[in-house]
Structure 1
Amino acid sequence: MSLKVGIIGFGKMGRIRSETLAARGAQIVRVFDIHYPDVVPYPKAPSWQDIVQDDAIDAVVISMPNRFNMAIATAALKAGKHVLCEKPPCFNAAEMEQIIEVEKRCDKVLMYGFNHRHHQSVIKLKELVSSQRFGRILWMRGRYGKSVDKSYLSTWRADPAMAGGGILIDQGIHMLDLFQYIAECEFDEVHAMVSNMYWKMPGIEDNVFALLRNSRSGLSVSFHSTMTQWRHLFSLEVFLERGYIVLNGLKTSSNSYGEEELTWAKNRSVAPAATWEDEERMVFSTDSSWDSEAEMFLRSVLDGAPVEYGSSLQALQVMRLIDTIYEVDRHQSTTVYDDLLTIES
């Protein structure tokens, strides 16, 4: 069976999705975008609603500005379509719970583009953790940052009504998802600081610092998400009882994060417990994550395989964490301000 697909949003991500799905036998029936690129090799639809209501289409891919993700995904599910949607799924956890209720009633595949789980370096890192060769995880540290210029201010990502937030919900969401994937737990203790000191865009944060902990296991996480990282950076460190695993770099089309270099070492019996010479290394020079994601979606739709990466439950878990980070920062800021007023009076 050839899956018949409609693409809603034919920008960079929509084109990547169409190419990877078509390469695996899917038929791209129609596409829709507000602003089309110069070359569109598929029939154009007059609106996203036309794609959702098209009986000839089995599944839709949603690559639109964040604001539209929830409305289009739920409409597509209700119309009997399978859905592959980019992140974030919506603006908060309450909205995600509403989407899940629709998903349950419609019994269609719903998958979200948490693409970083599909990187070969991340898969290898997870295998090393799961092997228990290094014992249980003690702590993790994640830094994910990029640099933007003034042109960013004129895009929909700089509009809180369209984006729902700044660097946290745009890029940091991937790192938070990886924390929960690797640790196989949620984080119920959160301290956070959210700021927009440089770009000063109301409702669009350019930096987030957070400390996370799972109260049951004690596993702690240090997290920094930023758009004032002048040299793009991806770094994920996992320290365990008997060793460590570190991933630096992330293979992308722009190569701005460098190649993915995974290093690991087991503890020695004397301090320091590991040295540079003890490390094993693997370098991943190609990005096969988009292909892997397309294959998973097709397996789920055509063969009934579970959505292993990017399920609605995983999306809900990460949206709960994002909600908490934003709320903790607002509460802390308000508390400090109220305390100052009390002192002054």
Structure 2
Amino acid sequence: MIGTGIGVGIVGLGGMGHLHARSIDELGGDVVAGADLVPEQRDRFASEFGATTYETHEDLVVDDDVDAVIVTTPNRFHEPITVAALEAGCHVLVEKPLAHTLESAERIAATAEQSDGICMVGFHNRHAGSMAMFGEQHARGRFGELTHIEANYVRRRGVPGPGSWFTDPDLAGGGALLDIGVHALDLALYTLDFPEITEVSGVARTTFGTREEYADPDGFGDNWDAEAETYEVDDSVSAFIRTADGQTISLEAAWATNREESMDFRIRGTEAGAQFDIGDTDIELLEAGTAGVEHYADTELTGDPSITGYAQQDEQFLSAIAAGRQPETNTIEEALLVQRVIDAIYRSSESGQAEAIEMPELEMAAETDPTTETERDPEPEAEASTRLE
């Protein structure tokens, strides 16, 4: 099997950590270690996977049995853990987004560039059946030139409860955009093959965070206490992105908004279009013709539902390690562009005007602030969320 002989450690033993651990196990990898501040999480992980567990990531990354590390902690702690793992000679898969701020993401990228280790970022929706089928059709030229993408990740209600790390700007770096909007944004940029971005315009709103009726109905808002907690992150974002080649992206992301829920992803091309729900197995192709009579042609493609984006992503990670080569997808460079667009959306919202994106060299980014998050933040990583991202 692909992962045979590769020892994997998980940092952050909540829901995402267990999801990755099960996937690695099924792919033949060895889940040998886990780290989390919470004793109960460590005990549960050790019981399920027979792994050695640690309180902090510092002990895990120097475990001789650990070849690779998967990071599933709150965003603020991605940098110190990823940097420590790479410097210890481990390969790393860090969950999205790359970091809680652009500056932190740049420091991760600078470390990864100097490291011999493989470093991937967890954007699993790229590997869903819908995107795999789109990619194959696009490679055949079916869509012509891609012109515009409508990317939606919108909930009618679904604000994580105040008191969770999701609504703490120091831990998350932002709200709905960094939590769920990042999936839609990454998928749009991935679809357009990470084009040169010339202009970003966006508005971030904080509207529903203190209203209990908009708490997440699936239980993640059960610690809701609007009067006792401060809510300072966005719960919805609207953005428009222009590229150097004239392609455009419209983005809607929301934890809560008074409209129907949507994970609708629409791709326009000069010859055909496509639409599907983000992360779904199926895709619909939209065309028009005049053969016989003027008509619309809608084609539905149905993929294998047993093949998930998470499993495909983890397989790519293990395959890259086994082959001793850098990954062809989910790269640090791609994740850094996603982070730059996110930063530009927030800057645009603050300035009230469109913002440009600068792309300094990674070495320059590292030199602007050589102090890592590990040095600035003495507190250890927080417990990973049990919410699936």
TM-score normalised to structure 1 length: 0.87
- Matched residue, 2:206: 196
Q: What is the alpha-carbon distance in structure 2 between the residues aligned to residue 56 and residue 306 of structure 1?
A: 21
- Matched residue, 2:250: 222
For residue 283 of structure 1, report the CA deviation from its aligned partner. 3.3
Q: What is the alpha-carbon distance in structure 1 between the residues aligned to residue 95 and residue 102 of structure 2?
A: 16
The SS at the match of 1:236 is strand
CA offsets, 1:207-226, max 9 Å, x none? 10011111x32111211011
Aligned residue pairs total: 322
Q: 2:323 aligns with which of 300, 303, 309?
A: 303
- Matched residue, 1:268: 289
Q: Which amino acid letter does the alignment assign opposite residue 327 of structure 1?
A: R
1:33 matched to 2:36: yes
1:7 matched to 2:10: yes
- Matched residue, 1:332: 352
For residue 235 of structure 1, report the CA deviation from its aligned partner. 0.7
1:108 matched to 2:117: yes
Q: Write the mapping of 1:60-79 to structure 2, written as runs, cut at 5 A.
A: 60-79=69-88
Task: Tell which deviates more after alignment, 32-41 or 314-323.
Answer: 32-41
CA offsets, 1:75-99, max 9 Å, x none? 1101111111101111233322221
1:212 matched to 2:241: yes
For residue 48 of structure 1, report the CA deviation from its aligned partner. 1.6
Aligned 8 A contact 2:159 2:256 in 1: no
- Matched residue, 1:293: 313
Aligned 8 A contact 2:209 2:235 in 1: yes
Q: 1:152 aligns with which of 143, 146, 161?
A: 161
Q: What is the alpha-carbon distance in structure 1 between the residues aligned to residue 191 and residue 199 of structure 2?
A: 18
Give the 3 Å change call, closer, same or farther, for CA 245–180 of structure 1 in structure 2: same
- Matched residue, 2:138: 129
Q: What is the alpha-carbon distance in structure 2 between the residues aligned to residue 178 and residue 136 of structure 1?
A: 17
- Matched residue, 2:343: 323
CA offsets, 1:235-269, max 9 Å, x none? 11111111211113644xxxxxxxx4411132325
For residue 134 of structure 1, report the CA deviation from its aligned partner. 2.3
Q: What is the alpha-carbon distance in structure 2 between the residues aligned to residue 306 and residue 102 of structure 1?
A: 15
1:187 matched to 2:190: no
1:312 matched to 2:326: no
Q: Which amino acid letter does the alignment assign opposite residue 83 of structure 2?
A: T
The SS at the match of 2:312 is helix
Aligned 8 A contact 1:92 1:320 in 2: no
- Matched residue, 1:255: none
The SS at the match of 1:34 is coil
Q: 1:21 aligns with which of 24, 28, 33?
A: 24
Q: What is the alpha-carbon distance in structure 2 between the residues aligned to residue 273 and residue 289 of structure 1?
A: 38
Q: Which amino acid letter does the alignment assign opposite residue 144 of structure 1?
A: Y
Give the 3 Å change call, closer, same or farther, for CA 29–128 of structure 1 in structure 2: same
Q: Which amino acid letter does the alignment assign opposite residue 274 of structure 2?
A: I
Q: What is the alpha-carbon distance in structure 2 between the residues aligned to residue 222 and residue 100 of structure 1?
A: 27
Q: What is the alpha-carbon distance in structure 1 between the residues aligned to residue 269 and residue 171 of structure 2?
A: 40
Q: What is the alpha-carbon distance in structure 2 between the residues aligned to residue 129 and residue 273 of structure 1?
A: 24
For residue 183 of structure 1, report the CA deviation from its aligned partner. 0.9
For residue 231 of structure 1, report the CA deviation from its aligned partner. 5.3
The SS at the match of 2:147 is strand
Give the 3 Å change call, closer, same or farther, for CA 289–149 of structure 1 in structure 2: closer
Q: What is the alpha-carbon distance in structure 2 between the residues aligned to residue 300 and residue 108 of structure 1?
A: 10
Q: Which amino acid letter does the alignment assign opposite residue 299 of structure 2?
A: E
Aligned 8 A contact 1:114 1:309 in 2: no
Q: What is the alpha-carbon distance in structure 1 between the residues aligned to residue 325 and residue 287 of structure 2?
A: 36
- Matched residue, 1:338: none
Give the 3 Å change call, closer, same or farther, for CA 28–137 of structure 1 in structure 2: same
Q: What is the alpha-carbon distance in structure 1 between the residues aligned to residue 149 and residue 33 of structure 2?
A: 43
The SS at the match of 1:175 is helix
Q: Which amino acid letter does the alignment assign opposite residue 53 of structure 1?
A: V
Q: What is the alpha-carbon distance in structure 1 between the residues aligned to residue 117 and residue 68 of structure 2?
A: 9
Give the 3 Å change call, closer, same or farther, for CA 115–150 of structure 1 in structure 2: closer
- Matched residue, 1:85: 94
Percent sequence identity is 26
Q: What is the alpha-carbon distance in structure 1 between the residues aligned to residue 295 and residue 94 of structure 2?
A: 42
Q: What is the alpha-carbon distance in structure 2 between the residues aligned to residue 286 and residue 231 of structure 1?
A: 28
